[in-house]
Amino acid sequence: MPILPIDMGRYGSREMKAIFEEEGKLQRLLDVEAALAWAHAEVGDIPKEAGETIGAMALVKHVWLNRVKEIEAEIRHDIMAVVTALSEVCGPSGAYVHVGATSNDITDSATALQLKDAIELIRQRLDDLETVLMELAAANKTILIIGRTHGQHAIPTTLGFKFVVWLREIARHIQRLEECTKRVVVGKMSGAVGTQAGLGPNAMKVQQLTMGRLGLTAADVSTQIVQRDRYAELICLFANIASSLDKFAVEVRELQRPEIGELAEPFASATQVGSSTMPHKKNPILCERVCGLAKILRSLTIPALENVPTWHERDITQSSAERFILPEACILLEYMLTLMTRVLRGLHIDREKMRANVDLTGGRAMSESIMLALTKRGMSRQVAHSLVRDISLQSERDGTAFRGDLLAHSEVRQHLSAREVEAALNPENYLGTAFKQIDAMIEKTETEREKRATAH
């Protein structure tokens, strides 16, 4: 009976969940046993026929999950249950299953196979999100929006500039994922404490052949387990990515407030219900879901880091925690990436409201522009700052037009003509290098994507 939302089908894609379902895990455990037997046969440790038989039978259609569970219930050891079930269907060749290996040779290598597939899915979702952000940055390159610091109006920027900042954040995460995958997706065949004693004189060759067969890199050195700093790095990266998605979602939520009304997540007006009691509501539920799940992702970093220290060559304290955190992290992150891409693909952008909000303070958001115009005309920067501050505060207090108050002030008129004041108050004249930066970052991203496409 499903209990958790992932099991209920509320969160997570079918593709990602299939990687971590019981049969998916069992098949990968069998894949490792098959590769080990093949490697032993290749170096002459076991008969060729035995290696071939084990390889042919190491499939969930032969080794049934129910039989594995039945054996585990009796002997209380999960991997020995797999070994026993596989041996049963292999006939006399079953005597050569699991030769020289320890449990974590199988489980850690199978985990590497799961993570390899999961990371590839997450990489694809990051790529999708990067594509959408690149399109949004280009399409909204010149669209004015008020920049906000401390939640207050600062100076104008463009919506495209906001999106290109997000774009490069995702680009960095893609780079981080590429880099850490090499350290995370590793298997091993090193025996009880890492010395490979049980694997005999061909041990190093057996490990090399097994990992090659599986498409994995062998850990450079290990104890009975692959060292958990690797998994901790991955979970911390996932939490970092989740925090970026949280940030994007918070921004959409904030800008969806009716009193701001600049952006809004997609809403299916024909069918979607916003509230059970308030028919007018259009709640940012997708973004709120991203923010909520980001809390779970960040919480997983604690057990991941706690799993790094183990007693001596290993204990089993990390095992139970990893049964939760590795599937959860992968399933939830891929789902969050899909959600955020969906939000941005269908994002409602109210350009008129954005322009109205730029003008909301009656030009006071252009105070820096006025101050610097005065400085260019010979006024001390500090004097100009104090003067413009006084005029802007008076304008806000009295509810008068900032432009009129500027032109009415003698010191301003001594330095700036009415035309120069108008020019300094025009937000389109005060965007600095925003357009150039947007173009440069899109070009940089396109170059990186071309290199990635070639590499993959």
pLDDT in tens, the chain (456 residues): 788 899 888 999 999 999 999 999 999 999 999 999 999 999 999 999 999 999 999 999 999 999 999 999 999 999 999 999 999 999 999 999 999 999 999 999 999 999 999 999 999 999 999 999 999 999 999 999 999 999 999 999 999 999 999 999 999 999 999 999 999 999 999 999 999 999 999 999 999 999 999 999 999 999 999 999 999 999 999 999 999 999 999 999 999 999 999 999 998 888 888 878 888 888 999 999 999 999 999 999 999 999 999 999 999 999 999 999 999 999 999 999 999 999 999 999 999 999 999 999 999 999 999 999 999 999 999 999 999 999 999 999 999 999 999 999 999 999 999 999 999 999 999 999 999 999 999 999 999 999 999 987
Q: Distance between terminal CA atoms of the chain?
A: 40
363's tokens? 């030009």
Query: Residue 269 has what pLDDT?
Result: 82
List active site positions. 150, 275
What ranges make up the beta strands (E) of 21-171? 144-149, 152-158
| Structural fold of domain 361-425 | Ribonucleotide Reductase Protein R1; domain 1 (1.10.40)
Question: Could you tell me which residues come within 8 angstroms of residue 217 by beta carbon, excluding any fewer than 6 positions away?
Answer: 182, 185, 186, 187, 211
Distance CA 225, CA 191 (A): 9
The SS3 assignment for 157 reads: strand
Chain centroid offset of residue 18 CA:
19
Give the CA dihedral 42, 43, 46, 47, nearest 10 degrees: 50
The SS3 assignment for 349 reads: strand
Q: Determine contact, residues 377/416, Cβ cutoff 8 Å.
A: yes
Q: Determine contact, residues 107/189, Cβ cutoff 8 Å.
A: no
Helix or strand (DSSP H, E) at 217:
strand 217-218
12's tokens? 């997570």
Q: Where are the alpha helices (DSSP H) in 90-152?
A: 103-139
Question: Could you tell me which residues come within 8 angstroms of residue 345 by beta carbon, excluding any fewer than 6 positions away?
Answer: 132, 266
Chain centroid offset of residue 433 CA:
29
β-pairing verdict for 152-158 and 186-187: unpaired
Domain borders along the chain are 1-99, 101-265+279-360, 361-425
Strand partners, 144: 158
Distance CA 374, CA 394 (A): 19
Distance CA 315, CA 194 (A): 14
Query: Residue 48 has what pLDDT?
Result: 97
Distance CA 43, CA 201 (A): 10
CATH superfamily of 101-265+279-360: Fumarase/aspartase (Central domain) (1.20.200.10)
Q: Determine contact, residues 217/211, Cβ cutoff 8 Å.
A: yes
Question: Could you tell me which residues come within 8 angstroms of residue 113 by beta carbon, excluding any fewer than 6 positions away?
Answer: 28, 31, 32, 187, 214, 216
Pick from 64, 107, 23: nearest CA to 323: 107
For domain 1-99, is the CATH number 1.10.275.10? yes
Pick from 160, 167, 118: nearest CA to 19: 118
Distance CA 201, CA 198 (A): 9
Question: Could you tell me which residues come within 8 angstroms of residue 201 by beta carbon, excluding any fewer than 6 positions away?
Answer: none
Distance CA 46, CA 373 (A): 84
Backbone angles phi, psi at 114, to 5 degrees: -65, -45
Query: Residue 2 has what pLDDT?
Result: 84
Q: What is the DSSP letter of 146?
A: E
Q: What is the DSSP letter of 95?
A: G
Pick from 390, 371, 389: nearest CA to 380: 371
Query: Residue 285 has what pLDDT?
Result: 94
Q: Where are the alpha helices (DSSP H) in 256-380?
A: 285-299, 301-306, 317-345, 351-358, 367-376
Q: Which amino acid is at 308?
A: V
Q: How far is CA 265 from CA 13, 261, 335, 356, in A?
A: 21, 11, 17, 20
Strand partners, 157: 145
What ranges make up the beta strands (E) of 51-97? none
Q: Which amino acid is at 291?
A: C
Residue with tokens 């090499």: 182
Query: Residue 276 has what pLDDT?
Result: 82
Q: What is the DSSP letter of 219?
A: P
Backbone angles phi, psi at 377, to 5 degrees: -95, 10
